[in-house]
Structure 1
Amino acid sequence: MRKRQVVFGMIGTQLDAASGPGRWEKWRPTVSLGMHEDFQLDRIELLLDERRYARLGDTVGADLAQVSPETTVVRHDMHLADPWDFEGVYACLHDFLRGYDFRPDEEDYLIHITTGTHVAQICWFLLAESRLFPGRLLQTSPPRKQRSGDAGTWTTIDLDLSRYDRIAQRFKQQRIDDRDLLKSGIATRNATFNRMIEQIETVATRSKAPMLLMGPTGAGKSQLAKRVFELKKLKHQLPGRFVEVNCATLRGDGAMSALFGHVKGAYTGAGSDRAGLLRSADKGLLFLDEIGELGLDEQALLLRALEEKRFPPVGSDRDVESDFQLIAGTNRDLGEAVAQGRFRDDLLARLNLWTYRLPGLAERIEDIEPNLDFELERWSREQHHRVAFNKEARARFLAFATSPEARWPGNFRDLGASVMRLATLADAGRITTALVDEEIARLRAQWRVGSEVSPLLPLLGDALDDLDRFDRVQLEEVVRVCARAKSLSDAGRTLFAASRRQRTSTNDADRLRKYLARFGLDWERVRAVE
């Protein structure tokens, strides 16, 4: 049984308008729908403003009845206060369709997009593309030469992309290209990682909500955040900048100023206004690595900035605005930090909508080989000097790199550093087995020396790399003493035993407190790390 063919359309206040016998010499798109021998119109749902165009509706209805007696014309009164107001037109058409009794088993539906303003045509398109209208688009065109009785041409457009293989293939290839971008072009083989990247690609292109990247140091959190920004930039979703900061480097009073800015005179040394990182990231992407290192005050203001897009700079009683997208990174368990009172549960709830854990190198052994090729290619490109392994050297390095002996504590960062050393030392652009053996011996020795994990790693995270070796050695000893001491004062007496004998009055606890504050640490935090 043939389905009834039903067309929805708006009366053309200009194109359909004509009167007198001469109107048949003019092509009128709505009337022409009933004039095609190869297009059977069973019903037209005609939308018009009855207060202004009732007479035109009468004429069009009568002429349709004359050329196509089998066509039923159903008129719907639709008043548009401003036909060029997108929001108003869309809402009006959306509400009309929601209230319509569609019967797709019995009828085929089309939207006549030749009439109506460009705004209305766009709204019809969106309603059909989103499947709020269960049908196709219908486009009519006038004949090349106007003459009585010529209906012109018609064509339909089905927005179901699955029906168009070549278009669907383009969309599929674009998604593959987008995922390659997120992976820096590396042909990764780890199935779990690839599935995660597929979802991140979907979320990145459809959502502006915060994203939380978890994983060990060197797992690639910063690089992935940059690639998300580049993807959104390519799709014209973020006109602003990519702004990155390691929160472990924001210490003391300067943390608030660095993030939220300050006004001139806010504190001693504030000689001029400072925009701050959040304002610098307006219309762009802000990557806060090691977000678990932020103080509670900074966390509270960051939460407000996320929810309201407004916040006050230090020293100001007036808010400023910044509409940024946030990606946060951490190698800590933020849930545990919440339980310990070091991280706000409401901020974690705001960040936890899209959370992804980046696996370390030990969990992605099959990806060592493609990453090895990527790092070597990157070095060659940056140095304008082609370097490659010989066959035996490559096999030997991969055998070691993928063995249980290879610890890679810094994950992909360590692998990249190893490749850089090999490429730099390669003579005539060839990495030999002798070079590989030397590098393997160096890595083994380094990992033996570093087998005792620094007590600073859980406290500073990636910021540990920014410390001078002198400060690192000194701070490690201070932290070890604090771990054994019963109190802040007890630790201070142990650390400053020699110098305190030379003074009549001492405050070892205050001296130690100030020393720890130089590195953004305090007694409670140091003692909390086992």
Structure 2
Amino acid sequence: MKPVTVIGFLGSTLDAAKFGPSRWNRWRPSVGIAMHEDLRVDRFLLLHGAQHRRLADQVAEDVRAVSPETTVELRQLDFADAWDFEEVYGKLLDFARAEPFDPEAEDYLIHITTGTHVAQICLFLLTEARYLPGRLLQTQPNRGGGGGSSPAGRWTAIDLDLSRYDSIATRFAMASAESQSFLKSGIDTRNAGFNRMIDEIEQVALRSRAPVLLMGPTGAGKSQLARRIYELKRLKHQVAGPFVEVNCATLKGDGAMSALFGHRKGAFTGAVADRPGLLRAADTGMLFLDEIGELGLDEQAMILRAIEDKRFLPVGADKEAASDFQLIAGTNRDLGQAVAAGGFRDDLYARLNLWTFSLPGLAERREDIEPNLDYELDRFAEREGNRVSFNKEARTRYLAFATSGEARWPGNFRDLMASVTRMATLSPGGRIDVDCVDLEIGRLRRLWSAESGDDGLATLLPPAALADIDPFDRVQLAYVIAACRRSRSLSEAGRTLFSASLARRSSANDADRLRKYLARFALSWADVAQ
């Protein structure tokens, strides 16, 4: 069993008694907690005001007398007005945030019998919101006995599942807004659909341990969002273990099973030692399986078992291993289509599909480009120790291009990060000017043209000439130009392009043959090689 820590206020009235043997004949809540045979208390955090220090010392001494194994820690907490709800809640919230709670190592009971009614309400609310990661502890004297015959009284531990109180709705709305901003890395995003999705993710992250599926194109921010979800849950004491990220696209063949689930020494050639595996590394923490659609069907089956039963069989082992982790899965594939095609298990998809969120690409959130531009400049300053900014005209020109339909952003936020990094690096004076922006816009156009499979003919021929070329001839011409650009001379390009027919000709002038071919389209070697 884990050690038990009780947190509660000193009862300035209920815990008070004249010093002497008679004090053991009446019920005193804080002392009575330590007198139950069925409630072991290893540590007692007793909150008290400065004016009640003498009583706190007496209660601490009596607790140690009835329960020598209980360590009493006195914590002074003063209020200007113990009935001021805002003051009491604020100071208790500060106490909860500063206390190094470890729910994996200790169980916590929050005693709500003592203290003012305001203090009791605040303890309840902080416990319900998981700032105090425990259960409520309620104590009372035995009914009908007047408390005299049983100084221990009775106790009850309460698990909370309650709605939030309207009286502090504003505070919780602020806390929710802080959590949403945390998930967005503090970026003031403007896309209404994205903001609604983040609001839902915040609620799911703090209220559910079920798997979460993040869908979206490469570079849309799935990995960063998964890590922020983990950090938010850790901040609220909902996870204690590490964040383990796995790119499933890199797990291929026999090594996939070993990497995920571990193996025993001698399980296969090369297994010279036991390997715990990534699932066990994520125990009590969070496992992010990025590109989960790339896993094989056998690995999918074992992942499903690990999600549902928290158990799995390492490679070569005859005994199951256990790991209690929370799962986030990411994919840029349509898993529904993968199920229909037989490439993904329908039972695993059903298990993952409870909480599914589709992250839009940057091109679908053009109004968020400006705040993300500032975020990337801040990241560059953190990485390089050098603050860089735009001048006004340069910023206007870059945003006009970045938010236009011409900017495709196929790599999404990775493209934006790379673009900002290039401009900031090429601006040693600390100011990105219009010339730097124009160079970057040209670079992006070329990069996106190459990535889209553009044949590049538009840079060589005017639109009217391109319109006169049949699609068949255009494919052939694009191939010829690509071969020319890989060659060091016209002759080398000719030999490459006409190599198959060379053996059937008595004489060959491949360079002249290629020159004449290019001339059909009003092109020269110099045009193409450049």
TM-score bin, normalised by smaller chain = 0.5 to 0.7
Do 1:380 and 1:387's aligned partners in 2 also have CA atoms closer than 8 Å? yes
The reply to whether residue 413 of structure 1 matches residue 417 of structure 2 is no
User: Could you tell me how far apart the structure 1 residues matched to 2:113 and 2:267 are?
Assistant: 51
Distance 1:305 1:357 in 2: 25
1:457: which partner in 2? Answer: none
**Aligned positions of 1:237-276 closer than 5 A:** 237-276=238-277
CA contact (8 A) 1:246 1:290 kept: yes
Residue 162 of structure 1 corresponds to which residue in structure 2? 166
Q: Give the Cα separation in 2 of the matches to 1:424 and 1:259.
A: 39
Any stretches of 5+ residues in structure 2 without a counterpart?
Answer: 1-13, 30-35, 42-107, 115-119, 129-137, 142-162, 456-499, 501-530
Q: Distance in 1 between matches of 2:140 and 2:432?
A: 64
Q: CA RMSD in A?
A: 3.6
Residue 438 of structure 1: aligned partner: 439
CA contact under 8 A between 1:212 and 1:328: conserved in structure 2?
yes
**Counterparts of 1:291 and 1:320, CA distance in 2:** 22
CA drift of 1:178 comes to 1.1
Q: Distance in 2 between matches of 1:162 and 1:373?
A: 37
Per the normalisation by structure 2, the TM-score is: 0.57
Q: Structure 1, residues 166-222: CA drift from partner, whole Å, max 9, x if none? A: xx4432222221111100110000000001101111111111110000001110000
Following the alignment from structure 1 to structure 2, what is the Cα–Cα distance between the partners of residues 82 and 234? Answer: 32
Who is 2:313 aligned against? 312
Paired AA for residue 367 in structure 1: D
Residue matched to 1:330? 331
Separation (CA, whole Å) in 2 of partners of 1:453 and 1:323: 49
Cα deviation, residue 334, structure 1: 0.5
Distance in 1 (alpha carbons) for counterparts of 2:189 and 2:265? 50
CA separation of 1:272 and 1:213: change in aligned 2, threshold 3 A = same
Structure 1 residues 459-482: Cα deviation after superposition (integer angstroms, max 9, x where no partner) = xxxxxxxxxxxxxxxxxxxxxxxx
Correspondence 1:58-457 to 2 at 5 A: 82=38, 161-164=165-168, 168-452=169-453
Q: Which amino acid in the other structure matches residue 162 of structure 1?
A: D
Instruction: Indicate conservation of the 8 Å contact 1:84/1:119, yes or no.
Output: no
Amino acid at match of 2:452: S
Q: Check conservation: 1:310, 1:320, Cα contact below 8 A.
A: yes
1:381 Cα deviation from its structure 2 partner: 1.7
What residue identity is the alignment partner of 1:265?
G
- Residue type at the aligned position of 1:371: N
Partner secondary structure for residue 240 of structure 2: coil
Could you tell me how far apart the structure 2 residues matched to 1:393 and 1:139 are? 71
Shift of 1:84: 6.8
Q: 1:160 to 1:360 in 2, by over 3 A?
A: closer
TM-aligned CA distance change 1:453 to 1:270, over 3 Å: farther
User: What code does the residue aligned with 1:260 have?
Assistant: F
- Would the alpha carbon gap of residues 15 and 280 (structure 1) be closer, same or farther in structure 2, given more than 3 Å must change? closer
Contact 2:113 2:139 in 1 (8 A): no
- Whichever residue aligns with residue 437 of structure 1, its letter is D
Q: Contact conserved, 2:258 with 2:277, CA < 8 A, in 1? A: yes
CA distance in 2, matches of 1:315, 1:453: 50
Q: Please tell me whether the aligned partners of residues 287 and 325 of structure 2 are also in contact (alpha carbons under 8 angstroms).
A: yes
Q: Percent identity?
A: 64
Q: Note the C-alpha offset of 1:122.
A: 5.3
Return the letter of the residue paired with 2:203: T
Flag the 1:435–1:268 CA change in 2: closer, same or farther, 3 A. same
Q: State the AA in 1 paired with 2:378.
A: E
8 Å contact kept, 1:189–1:366: yes
